[in-house]
Structure 1
Amino acid sequence: MKNLVILGAGTSGTMMANHLVKKLKKEDWKITIVDQYKTHYYQPGFLFLPFDTYTEAQVKKNGKDFIPKGVEYVQEKIAKIHPDKNFVQLENQILSYDLLIVATGSKIAPEEIEGMKGDLWRKDVFDFYTYEGAVALRNKLRDWEGGKLVVHVTEMPIKCPVAPLEFAFLADSYFRKKGIRDRVDITYVTPLSGAFTKPISTKKLSYLLEQKGITIETDFAIERVDNEKKEIVDYADRALSFDLLVTVPTNMGDEVIERSGLGDDLNFIPTHKHTLQSVAHENIFVIGDATNLPASKAGSVAHFQAEILTENILKYVQGKPLEEEFDGHANCFIETGDNKALLIDFNYEQEPVPGTFPFAGVGPLQLLKESVLNHWGKLAFRWIYWNMLLKGISIPFVSARMSKKGKKIQTIN
């Protein structure tokens, strides 16, 4: 019997376990999934925790409940991957593998920036990319009476690239509902040259910042956080003061990737952008945030990757050529406040454009256009995540490869 080992029981790893247990013959393959944590978090929900839209119970569940029967679940820390010897060293045991899927994700690394994790950390400087950070920020916002709010992105890539903008939009709505918006100055600070990661999105949607009275500071490459002056300072000595800093720190792959010598400078694994096979080791496949792919690190992307990777795993074990099918497809709702949201759909080659989704001319969802329906689509995704995505159930009418039907394909003038 051969051994397939999945490292990480987050979104990507859990989906792959559910897909493969149905596809691989039990008499031929033993599937093992490894994760050191008991709790599975619905990470898109961290955006809503600070604003009391979601409760803590709505964004976390017991991870083991989503691991299917027929898959061995090992809750243990991963010490090191030995790719040349085909085994994984855990804290208390060794797992040999014939095929390895790395789904170890990414996490924030505030220690990468001088002073970010200083005396003000989770007092006046917060993240919302972790459960603990989102809860601490929620508690801060409940009693905060106003001042200079700076929403800041350290560097790309990050999980869900639009989430910091969503936070700024939701903060505007939140403070207006509390009746203190006139006492809050919101500044959005990005290392990019525009508000959005895609030029067409920046051109089409930058009006939202002006409409909501949000100042934007672009091309800001942060060097340090000055805890005494309460400033963020970039490499050109440009300083921006804050009373409350909500930052997205550097995102990095898991430390085990560094220990194993498998990653780049940010601990992301070089991965074939269309097959999801490791560039360096043919019996290792990589999925989700652990890859170095130029695709969004988001749940929808991992979902599309899982469907394509499942087919490539089956081809690999049968000795067939892999299909270069993954096109970088991402599908993302962007909360804009006041119970409205945008929807964008794009891939490696095609930027977000206007149109309808998922059906051409019918929708019912509109692309690059605010609507209440898009907002409810965003909220509905939580149910879809827990009840379909993690269990390896495809979302009806949404294909892994991006469809151009219903889209008004265009270029920037």
Structure 2
Amino acid sequence: MKRNRIVILGGGTGGTLMANRLRRAYGWHEAQIVVVDRDDDHLYQPGLLFVPFGMAQIEDLVRPRAGQLRAGIDYRRQEATRVDTDTRTVYFADGTILHYDVLVIASGARLLPAATEGLTEAGPQERVFTFYTPEGAAGLRQALERFEGGRIVVNPVDLPVKCPVAPLEFCFLADAYFRGRHLRDRVRITYVTPLDAAFTRPVAAKALAGLLADKHIELVTDFATGEVDGAGGRLISYDGREERFDLAVVVPAHGGAAYVDRSPGLGDELGFVQVDRHTLQAKAAPEIFAIGDATDVPTSKAGSVAHFEGEAVVRNIRRFLAGQPLDGSFDGHANCFVETGFGKGLLIDFNYDTEPLPGHYPGPLGLPLLKESRLSHLGKRAFAWLYWHRVLPGRELPGITARMPRRGKAEPTQPRRP
């Protein structure tokens, strides 16, 4: 029997859970599984949101990548430079190459601050920050501690971004933070978004906009940031509008891994791998699959999506190597806990075709959906343990399935035909 080599580029959420699931699916004699990443720091990215508010420490969010992989998985610290789909070869910066029978691209999304004029020169660690990196989150914590009043602007420059609700969560937590310091009446918080609403899905957007209004957080929509003027304290849109700030929390534009751009036919114009959205098979070559933030699928770039995709990708790799038709059942399932401050949160659950709906998840007796609750806050805070001990090891979560559940949800009523 041939021993297939499965190469996984990326040792983050998607790559790690894929490797661990595949190791359980295949014996050592059946498949060699190789995970490659350019560094050895596995970061629990959702925790960065809490660092600026003193609710998490950077050192508690990072663990060695190799330590999250099951025995029998080969971990290599190298930087990929391109993929040759014709010869099934990955090229690395040190001049070495690696051939594969199946390739899984799980290299996530990267921040592109240079894509916005002035952002890289906008006064980093002075009054323009991002909490999407450990360094930025730590610097923002110090900036908030010094902040005694003025205008804070929170701005995702463009979409898609990792965890698209996170900038909104920052606004909610900032509201609670300054109320706790008895400074809220001296702090003006504004959420500036390129979208025409608070979120991408109308039902959730309405609920989130209501929360912004309740907390006296301004909402500015349809603002396409073209320049960040750190010295002058201005966001400038492409149409010439300006939003002034004393402190800016900016989420830079995102793109796929640089090596995807250097691999003809593999990615779209942003460097995200083009895949069939139901099988996760790459359009460039049948033996390539992608998972998580690295894909171009039209759903949130969130850890929950990578977790749900993992089941589908493992199943389809097994089918591909067995010469069987692929399973096109992945439905774009995503769910997100939204931290809303003061020990509360809300949960949204949706897929490609279904809006976030009210009700409960994962069933009638589950967590409330689209409604603030203490349970959702506790769920978000508890998820860190589940991440390290259940999600990354590739274990199933009791009652949680890859396909979006409909039980417990208030389905919209269809108008009667005359």
TM-score, normalisation: structure 2: 0.96
Tell me the equivalent position of 1:153.
156
User: Which residue of the partner structure matches residue 262 of structure 2?
Assistant: 259
Q: Which of 284, 294, 301 lines up with 1:280 in the alignment?
A: 284
Alignment correspondent of 1:375: 377
Q: Is the 8 A contact 1:257 1:269 kept in 2?
A: yes
Distance 1:169 1:108 in 2: 23
Q: 1:41·1:61 contact (CA, 8 Å) conserved in 2?
A: yes
Q: Which runs of 5+ in 1 are unaligned?
A: none
Output aligned runs, 1:317-336, within 5 Å. 317-336=321-340
Is this contact kept in 1: 2:85–2:284, CA < 8 A? no
SS where residue 48 of structure 1 aligns? helix
Q: Secondary structure at the match of 2:243?
A: strand
For residues 11-30 of structure 1, the aligned pairs below 5 Å read 11-30=13-32
Identity percentage of aligned residues? 46
Confirm or deny that 1:141 pairs with 2:141: no
Displacement of 1:382 after TM fit? Answer: 0.4
Quick check: 175-184 or 12-21, which moved more? 175-184
Cα distance in 1 for residues equivalent to 2:231 and 2:16: 44
| Alignment match of 2:399 (pick from 397, 400, 403) | 397
Q: Deviations over 1:68-104 (max 9, x none)?
A: 1111110111122111111111233211111100001
- Displacement of 1:119 in angstroms is 4.2
Q: Which piece of structure 1 moves more, 113-122 or 383-392?
A: 113-122
1:197 pairs, out of 196, 200, 207, with 200
The aligned runs of 1:49-64 (5 Å cut-off) are: 49-64=51-66
Residue type at the aligned position of 1:157? P
**Which one of 48, 51, 54 corresponds to residue 50 of structure 2?**
48
Whether 1:118 aligns to 2:121 is yes
Q: Which amino acid aligns with 1:334?
A: V
TM-superposition CA deviations, 1:218-262 (whole Å, max 9, x none): 000111112332101111110110010001110111111112232
Contact 1:301 1:328 in 2 (8 A): yes
Distance 1:388 1:204, change over 3 A: same
- Which residue matches 1:244? 247
Structure 1 runs of 4+ off > 2 angstroms? none
1:166 counterpart residue number: 169
Amino acid at match of 2:281: Q
User: Structure 2 CA distance, aligned partners of 1:411 and 1:97?
Assistant: 50
Structure 1 counterpart of 2:229, which letter?
D
> CA RMSD of the aligned region, Å?
1.3
Amino acid corresponding to residue 174 of structure 2 in structure 1: A
3-state SS in 1 of match to 2:33: strand
**Contact 1:332–1:344 under 8 Å retained in 2:** yes
Q: What code does the residue aligned with 1:132 have?
A: E
Contact 2:363–2:405 (CA<8 Å) still a contact in 1? no
**How far apart are 1:206 and its partner, in Å?**
1.7
- CA separation of 1:331 and 1:119: change in aligned 2, threshold 3 A: closer
CA contact (8 A) 1:161 1:296 kept: yes
The answer (yes or no) to whether the contact 1:24–1:314 under 8 Å persists in 2 is: no
TM-superposed CA distance for 1:411, in Å, is 7.1
Q: CA deviation at 1:42?
A: 0.2
SS in 2 for 1:186: strand
Q: 1:107 to 1:411 in 2, by over 3 A?
A: farther
Aligned residue among 313, 320, 323 for 1:316: 320
How many aligned residue pairs are there?
A: 411
With structure 1 as the length reference, what TM-score do the two structures score?
0.97
Distance in 2 of aligned mates of 1:303 and 1:57: 24
Gaps (5+ residues) in structure 2? none
* Structure 1 residues 191-214: Cα deviation after superposition (integer angstroms, max 9, x where no partner): 011111110112233211111110
Give the conservation status (yes or no) of the 8 Å contact 2:122–2:228. no
Q: Paired residue for 2:219, among 191, 200, 216?
A: 216
Selected match of 1:177 from 176, 180, 203? 180
Given the alignment, which residue of 294, 297, 303 partners 1:299? 303
